[in-house]
Chain A
């Protein structure tokens, strides 16, 4: 009967459903134990063939094609030219090692948070880009302890060992004698690894108000006088109140560029003469620095919206001919060209970028430069703990090449024989096309190359040697580095590696998000009135909370 048939279907449905629910609950329960999880790796190792990569030298060690999932910022165009065709250099690399990269793209805005989520839930890719700044070091140690990374085998790879031995800070990523994250070197040893703080500025406007200095070395007073003249005389012809004096590209750079000259330890801890530690904001000069910043903000020299800055604001406003100076924490020739010169020229035909934009080195009120020694590495690359031996060896082989001298040339100049070659004297001869100014034009967009080049090492000294950038700019950049590494002009604060990487549970707890809190607090106070009492109150209360951190420092970092 029809009715019974329907009832029968219902019964079947019921049973199926119950089974389904039960099954999913069981499946969920068995997946609870995170150790038994397979993580985000894209494929299981092809273990059947080649037993080990250390086969006899005659055999091609790269017989099996291996796919790597790899995360990186701005990876959407990795390996692709502007028209979407594959870039020859990555193709060459992938062919040479018989690999393929599958990119997990991140943005500058989310890369730390997103990577953190992946790692904390053990779903990171095969190769993970890390940015373990000193402030996040304890988190890194937690990850190492949780067994999330596979250690590198430096002994097997001569180039990696060689580069590794050049580093100081890089060694901090070693735990118990094993290196868990390969640090990308920033080779600025010739300048003592000092960070060149300063401003990208409109040199043509400075000339227009008659206060330009050829050596581009300005004292504190000279600089603010220049600023005042530019703001009043408006050489950019923007109309009253439209010109912006200074923009800092990101929230962590404001207000360092001003306070750094007056209270260098504002965002961190200072070790006094007697070896005891104090918290920067409690020092009297910190309040002075903030007051000074507010003074300049109130005078209108600093962009009104600075406390709300978003990542491209500096670029867009600069290109719109509105900005006199943008703070820089390093003279990056790449950024100089691509973030300032090119957009300015494109938006304002008739302006010649190289003649309009330059770099200013500015002293503090004491007419000296206060500069920090920076680390010799930036960013690291880690292998997922569940990589097979074969995959790990392949990756390290790739890395070994990228870190070698040949690899450096490859990353920076392209394919040997095609883009460059050694001449009779062993010097590099570029074969790129040249534009009308005689500058070499690279056939590879940086967005195509950077994601896979970065693990091998950061571009040299901020591209000081890269021929695709004009000589005039590169020489100015070199000049800036010479200023900051010159003891007659600069007070260099040496890197205290022990302090930078010190961590303990109490210290980590007490200082979690501390630096961010400080500059956010400052950003909040600058536009408001009555900052002295607000600052003092906040500092007092915060100082109590972080007292354990100071105790830890006093006890452990001498």
Chain B
């Protein structure tokens, strides 16, 4: 990608007014604004008082500032438990996901007999699932209702990620392996000491993919978590979107009247976006690498 971008137009070109390029820049900027505007709108809604918003919901800048939505949100203790739950699920979930994915991908990258059967075995599950009730009963029988594990264990392996990892492992030269084996290393050691260091970028990428998935998860929380303080973040947002009274009912009267539903909703949304928005630009290059390696090689 850098190669293409570092191409500079030749000197003669630069002197002429590059109209096509200006149009291109304009188009791209407009699209950028379109992508950006909904977020901007949400920020605005969360920092204006109710009267202003009701009067004119379309704003280019805040006519008046009112942070009571944020004050309200920050005193909503369930939000912090939501963050905590999601953090737990993400950290342990990703570790769990990666462990399963890496071991299985490594094994499948070797020309072992039965490889194709296992492939089929895995892909089959993409199409046919038992359904909500058996999964629900399974979690119940394992005694995991209302347990964080119920949000972690079922997420297992993402099949696309498995394929990507496996493709990557294909590319590791056999000679390295042979050398290690001559030294008497077992499979697990080879995986740990040779393959993994070599695939750090890939691991980071897949790990980040899983991170995004775990962070955004809500469906398992909906099914299996009973206590409100174990609900993941996205589930809280979802419930709050459906009915803000689920929060406002629990707040003392003194805080209640100044806030309005849309203000609170957008405040929660912004608060939960911020961690992601701050982190992801730094991780951009890993994602890019993962996509390119995985996407093209398939």
Chain A residues within 8 Å of B, Cβ to Cβ? 1-3, 6-7, 9-10, 13, 27-28, 31-32, 34, 37, 40, 74, 76-77, 82-83, 104-105, 107-110, 117, 120-121, 123, 239, 242, 310-313, 315-317, 319-320, 322, 342-343, 346-347, 447
CA distance A77 to B50 in the complex (A): 27
Q: What's the nearest-Cβ distance from chain B to residue A472, in Å?
A: 21
* Contact present for B184 and A2 (CB under 8 Å): yes
Given that A40-B145, A316-B261, A347-B257 are known contacts, is A311 also in contact with B245, CB under 8 Å in the complex? yes
* Contact present for B55 and A74 (CB under 8 Å): no
Selected A-B contacts with CB under 8 Å, 26 pairs: A3-B185, A6-B185, A6-B189, A13-B188, A40-B145, A74-B249, A76-B228, A82-B252, A107-B239, A107-B246, A108-B245, A109-B246, A117-B223, A121-B133, A121-B136, A123-B140, A242-B55, A310-B243, A310-B261, A316-B261, A320-B54, A342-B257, A343-B257, A346-B256, A346-B258, A347-B50
Identify which of A27, A37, A311 contacts B140 (C-beta below 8 A).
A37
Identify which of A6, A82, A322 contacts B184 (C-beta below 8 A).
A6
Q: What's the nearest-Cβ distance from chain B to residue A43, in Å?
A: 14
Any chain A CB within 8 A of the CB of B137?
yes
* Contact present for B136 and A117 (CB under 8 Å): yes
Q: What's the nearest-Cβ distance from chain B to residue A22, in Å?
A: 15
Chain B, residue nearest A39 (CB): B140
Contacts of B256 in A (CB 8 A): 343, 346
Chain B, residue nearest A82 (CB): B252
* Contact present for A109 and B186 (CB under 8 Å): no
B51, B189, B226, B256: residue with the most chain A Cβ atoms closer than 10 Å: B226
Given that A10-B186, A104-B226, A121-B136 are known contacts, is A320 also in contact with B51, CB under 8 Å in the complex? yes
Identify which of B183, B188, B253, B261 contacts A82 (C-beta below 8 A).
B253
| Beyond A27-B142, A76-B250, A110-B239, 15 extra complex contacts between A and B, CB < 8 Å | A3-B183, A6-B186, A6-B188, A28-B141, A31-B141, A32-B141, A76-B228, A104-B226, A121-B137, A121-B140, A239-B55, A310-B261, A312-B245, A313-B261, A343-B256
Chain B, residue nearest A315 (CB): B245
Identify which of A6, A34, A107, A319 contacts B257 (C-beta below 8 A).
A319
* Contact present for A109 and B257 (CB under 8 Å): no
Contacts of A317 in B (CB 8 A): 54
* Contact present for A109 and B243 (CB under 8 Å): yes
* Contact present for B187 and A10 (CB under 8 Å): yes
CA distance A343 to B239 in the complex (A): 22
Q: What's the nearest-Cβ distance from chain B to residue A204, in Å?
A: 19
Contacts of A34 in B (CB 8 A): 137
Given that A34-B137, A310-B243 are known contacts, is A105 also in contact with B260, CB under 8 Å in the complex? no
Any chain A CB within 8 A of the CB of B69?
no
Any chain A CB within 8 A of the CB of B242?
yes
Chain A, residue nearest B186 (CB): A6
* Contact present for A320 and B186 (CB under 8 Å): no
CA distance A28 to B243 in the complex (A): 38
Any chain A CB within 8 A of the CB of B244?
yes
* Contact present for B50 and A120 (CB under 8 Å): no
CA distance A258 to B24 in the complex (A): 55
Chain B residues within 8 Å of A, Cβ to Cβ? 50-51, 54-55, 133, 136-138, 140-142, 145, 183-189, 223, 226, 228, 239, 242-246, 248-250, 252-253, 256-258, 260-261
* Contact present for B249 and A77 (CB under 8 Å): yes
Given that A77-B250, A121-B133, A347-B257 are known contacts, is A108 also in contact with B188, CB under 8 Å in the complex? no
* Contact present for A312 and B141 (CB under 8 Å): no
Q: What's the nearest-Cβ distance from chain A to residue B237, in Å?
A: 14
Q: What's the nearest-Cβ distance from chain B to residue A187, in Å?
A: 26
CA distance A121 to B136 in the complex (A): 8
Q: What's the nearest-Cβ distance from chain A to residue B12, in Å?
A: 59
Q: What's the nearest-Cβ distance from chain A to residue B235, in Å?
A: 11
CA distance A392 to B51 in the complex (A): 52
CA distance A110 to B228 in the complex (A): 13
CA distance A121 to B134 in the complex (A): 9
Nearest 7 A/B pairs, CB to CB: A346-B257, A3-B184, A31-B141, A6-B186, A82-B252, A311-B243, A109-B242
CA distance A32 to B246 in the complex (A): 36
Contacts of B51 in A (CB 8 A): 320
* Contact present for A320 and B50 (CB under 8 Å): yes
Contacts of B188 in A (CB 8 A): 6, 9-10, 13
Contacts of A109 in B (CB 8 A): 239, 242-243, 246
Contacts of B133 in A (CB 8 A): 120-121
* Contact present for A1 and B184 (CB under 8 Å): yes
* Contact present for B239 and A7 (CB under 8 Å): no
CA distance A465 to B202 in the complex (A): 70
Chain A, residue nearest B188 (CB): A10
Chain B, residue nearest A24 (CB): B142
* Contact present for B250 and A312 (CB under 8 Å): no
Contacts of B248 in A (CB 8 A): 312
* Contact present for A28 and B55 (CB under 8 Å): no
CA distance A322 to B260 in the complex (A): 13
Contacts of B246 in A (CB 8 A): 74, 107, 109
Contacts of B228 in A (CB 8 A): 76, 105
* Contact present for A312 and B189 (CB under 8 Å): no
Chain A, residue nearest B229 (CB): A76
Contacts of A311 in B (CB 8 A): 242-245
* Contact present for B250 and A447 (CB under 8 Å): yes
CA distance A235 to B208 in the complex (A): 57
Given that A77-B249, A109-B239 are known contacts, is A37 also in contact with B261, CB under 8 Å in the complex? no
Q: What's the nearest-Cβ distance from chain A to residue B267, in Å?
A: 15
Q: What's the nearest-Cβ distance from chain A to residue B190, in Å?
A: 10
CA distance A176 to B118 in the complex (A): 54
Contacts of B261 in A (CB 8 A): 310, 312-313, 316
* Contact present for A123 and B145 (CB under 8 Å): yes
Q: What's the nearest-Cβ distance from chain A to residue B192, in Å?
A: 11
* Contact present for A322 and B245 (CB under 8 Å): no
* Contact present for A447 and B186 (CB under 8 Å): no
CA distance A333 to B65 in the complex (A): 36
Chain B, residue nearest A34 (CB): B137
Q: What's the nearest-Cβ distance from chain A to residue B35, in Å?
A: 25
Chain A, residue nearest B189 (CB): A6
CA distance A64 to B244 in the complex (A): 40
Q: What's the nearest-Cβ distance from chain B to residue A57, in Å?
A: 39
CA distance A549 to B185 in the complex (A): 73
Chain B, residue nearest A1 (CB): B184
